[in-house]
Amino acid sequence: MKNLKIIALLLIVCIISVIFLSCASDEPNDSNAGNNANPQNIGEEVHADAPEESVQDNLPESDFGGHTFTLFIRDADHYNTDFFAESLIGEPINDAVHNRNKNIEERFNINIAVEFYDMNDWGASALQRIIQAGDDIYDIAAVHGAGAFSLAQSNFVLDWFENMPYVDFDAPWWSDDAIKNLAAFGRLYCVTGDITHLGLASTQSFLFNKDLFANLGLDYPYQDVLDGTWTLDKFIGLTKSAPADLNGDGQITPDADRFGLFMFNEWTYPISVLYSGGDRVITIDGGGTPELTIYNPRTVDIFDKFFDMMNTDGAAYIPGISHSAAIDDMFTSGRSLFYAGVLSDVIKLRDMENEIGILPHPKYDANVPLYYSLVDAGQNVFVVPITAENTERTSIIVEALAAEGYKNIMPAFYEISLKTKHARDDESSAMIDFIRAGRIFDYGYYNNSVTGDLAYAGQRLVTGRNQNFTSFFERNETRVQRNIERLMED
């Protein structure tokens, strides 16, 4: 099994290299191409360049005299598992987090403490109240991506570039795409990387029902992914081949019949489909200035194709943000070819009777160099309150946490929880490498205070009365451009 995985990974790297070289002259023809089409990042993302344990941080020996390093984080298991692990329980992620924390506590003579805020608070209001009181309580806070930008625009958090001297953003434990594309005007107010496994767990992806594929005489799309030809047109063709009126009442409805694609709500694939061509709501140009780049002929065509699928019986979603077993029943009961969610859903659905596979989101066409997928803003991103007095100490500890996460926690999540324990075939394990390599952090999606409805274009369109992307963009363009101009002035 191990040898098969090694061979699969080597094959993936070779194929992606060939695809990139053959498509270099056909990259997306707007300003996004420079930020997105960078296959050199693949080695960093999948850690194919060197074993994790051989890469060391360059931190000085330090004794912080028993300082209690306190993290502010959401009170929910999905979010606090990054740091909260009181004891060893035989579960890979928990035990890796527990050991990481203990190692750093001993190395720097600190105590790591976690304090919680309400799950329904994105972190912005709870942390803001504490900062306004002038108290240096929390060294760092883990917040929702949109909450981080809200805090930044109100000047409640520090710039990481200026204030965190020991954080090495060139190190493999920091997400290169996040560092480049969540910063503007040379300032970075929130970060993410292997300090949290949620950056991978929260990446949009597809699951598919292998048994239903076999019953319908359809080939698994694995080879298309490997060949670089897993495209939007192929995916939509498959979704249109699956619908069936199972109860014979003359109509196809989500409660009883079969669909090609099931989305557990309108916040998943409707938003992420935009990124299939490598486009972003906002692109950070070479000078660090945000540019509105969501609209071009390619994105118009992407949404036309998407709504062509949505307006047939090929796809269905349940309105709202709830995520329960009852809602997931369409997929778990075998009534949908595909399931649109995030990568960690493979763990949530591990008890499903039918065999499932994992796939990246398809490309717009074969000329797009990677299989791009949005990393949901609901993951943990990290901010430093302006009340933090010793940022040199904070930067050392944060860098150590991220480095240890890269070496121990990410392998536990990536290899054991996903690729071994829950992914049900070697091909799905290889697909995770593609998903990881194509992760996108979009400034325009995370900073919705600037982009407004354009941050969530797909969600707004799929729930609105008018699904015309051009008219939607035109209604919002002027307001967003003004917001960008204000950012530049500020």
Question: In the prediction, which pLDDT does 48 show?
Answer: 40
Q: Does 2 have pLDDT greater than 90? A: no
91-127 pLDDT tens trace: 899 999 999 999 999 999 999 999 888 766 666 788 8
Residues 71, 88, single domain; the answer is yes
Domain count, the chain: 2
Question: What is the rounded average pLDDT of the residues 32-45?
Answer: 37
410-424 pLDDT tens trace: 999 988 888 888 888
Residue 322 lies in a domain: yes
Residues 221, 310, single domain; the answer is yes
- Please tell me the distance from the alpha carbon of residue 78 to that of residue 1, in angstroms, as a whole number: 30
Residue 40: partners with Cβ closer than 8 Å, 6 or more residues away: none
Residues 344, 407, single domain; the answer is no
Report how far apart, in Å, the C-alpha atoms of 314 and of each of 164, 253, 267 are: 49, 11, 18
Report how far apart, in Å, the C-alpha atoms of 86 and of each of 94, 209, 429 are: 9, 37, 30
Q: Does 465 have pLDDT greater than 60? A: yes
Strands (E), 354-457: 356-359, 373-374, 381-383, 439-440
pLDDT band at residue 82 using 50, 70 and 90 as cut-offs: confident
Residue 47 lies in a domain: no
Residues 234, 276, single domain; the answer is yes
194-247 pLDDT tens trace: 999 999 999 999 999 999 999 999 999 999 999 999 999 999 999 999 999 999
Give the other-Cβ count within 10 Å of 59's Cβ.
16
Residues 401, 470, single domain; the answer is no
What number of CA atoms fall less than 13 Å from residue 440's CA on the CB side?
32
Residue 5 lies in a domain: no
Residue 453 lies in a domain: yes
Question: In the prediction, which pLDDT does 18 show?
Answer: 37
Residue 88 lies in a domain: yes
Residues 398, 447, single domain; the answer is no
Q: For residue 298, report the phi and psi dihedrals to the nearest 5 degrees.
A: -70, -45
Residues 195, 317, single domain; the answer is no
Which domain range does residue 345 map to?
A: 204-376+441-489
Residues 164, 282, single domain; the answer is no
Residue 1 lies in a domain: no
Question: In the prediction, which pLDDT does 417 show?
Answer: 84
Residues 196, 281, single domain; the answer is no
Residue 26 lies in a domain: no
Give 315's strand partners: 261
Residues 70, 190, single domain; the answer is yes
Question: In the prediction, which pLDDT does 247 show?
Answer: 93
Residues 322, 470, single domain; the answer is yes
- 383: domain CATH number is 3.40.190.10
Residue 48 lies in a domain: no
Question: In the prediction, which pLDDT does 23 show?
Answer: 39
Residues 275, 358, single domain; the answer is yes
Question: What is the rounded average pLDDT of the residues 457-474?
Answer: 95
